[in-house]
Amino acid sequence: MAVNKQPVLKKCRSLGIEPAYMGVFKKSKKTLDTRRPKKISEYGMQLKEKQKAKFIYGVLEKQFRNYFDVASKRRGVVGENLLRMLELRLDNVIFRLGFARTRREARQVVGHKLVLVNGKRVNIPSYQCKVGDTVEVRDKSKTMQRFKDILDVTGNMLIPEWLTCDRENLRGTIQQVPNREQIDVPVNETLIVELYSK
């Protein structure tokens, strides 16, 4: 299984993303280049938006392309469909509920079989959650020091409106499919659609 192991702060700096979107609250010690920025072509801007989305959600090119193909066959706006599919990935839902500090950690939590969806163990980070699904940490793992440490860090994190969360029992429910206003990632999805439509 391919995993993106690029340094988070370095990649955030190159894509112009705040590290907080990745769940990282460190600041880079390196200063931004003060020289005049190069003019970016239209293709360059489209490519950068695609790279942002892939990096934020931890998805590689082939899988991202598959998401786009499915999103383009669904009713509605293609770009919004794409972001909804990425938001409803199980690893992202775990991150949004505050059961992991970063999406990478959420992916690891799922991969280690510590998560139940509707009472069944699921270890596939890309599993597509649906409205009404209950996502929880399995009973044996709830007492682990790891989750106590995570909850200390993510205690003040805002839970999106499309989710309900019971922090004490490490359980959450998907109330609705998120709309574009509820997805707070700094990505211009229309540029991604234009890129793939060429």
Report if residue 159 sits inside a domain: yes
Domain carrying residue 72? 8-30+38-86+184-196
Query: What pLDDT was estimated at residue 189?
Result: 93
Q: 94 with 167, same domain?
A: yes
Report if residue 1 sits inside a domain: no
Report if residue 121 sits inside a domain: yes
Within 8 A by CB and 6+ apart from 79, the residues are 71, 189, 190, 192, 193
Q: 103 with 161, same domain?
A: yes
Q: 154 with 171, same domain?
A: yes
Q: 124 with 148, same domain?
A: yes
Query: What pLDDT was estimated at residue 13?
Result: 73
Instruction: Give the domain CATH number at 108.
Output: 3.10.290.10
Q: 170 with 97, same domain?
A: yes
Within 8 A by CB and 6+ apart from 150, the residues are 98, 99, 100, 101, 105
Per-residue confidence of the chain (198 residues) as pLDDT tens digits?
Answer: 466 666 767 766 767 777 666 666 666 555 555 566 678 899 999 999 999 999 899 899 999 999 999 999 999 999 999 999 999 999 999 999 999 998 999 999 999 999 999 999 999 999 999 999 999 999 988 889 988 888 888 888 889 999 999 988 999 999 999 999 999 888 999 999 999 987
Q: 43 with 103, same domain?
A: no
Query: What pLDDT was estimated at residue 25?
Result: 61
Q: 63 with 128, same domain?
A: no
Q: 12 with 79, same domain?
A: yes
Q: 75 with 111, same domain?
A: no
Instruction: Give the domain CATH number at 78.
Output: 1.10.1050.10
Q: Whole-prediction pTM value? A: 0.85
Q: 97 with 171, same domain?
A: yes
- Report d(CA 79, CA 188) in Å as an integer: 9
Report if residue 103 sits inside a domain: yes
- Counting the structural domains of the chain, the total is 2
Query: What pLDDT was estimated at residue 10?
Result: 72
Report if residue 2 sits inside a domain: no
Query: What pLDDT was estimated at residue 27?
Result: 61
Report if residue 112 sits inside a domain: yes
Q: 128 with 156, same domain?
A: yes
Q: 31-67: buried (b, 16+ CB within 10 Å) or exposed (e) per residue?
A: eeeeeeeeeeeeeeebebbbbbbbbbbbbeeeebeeb
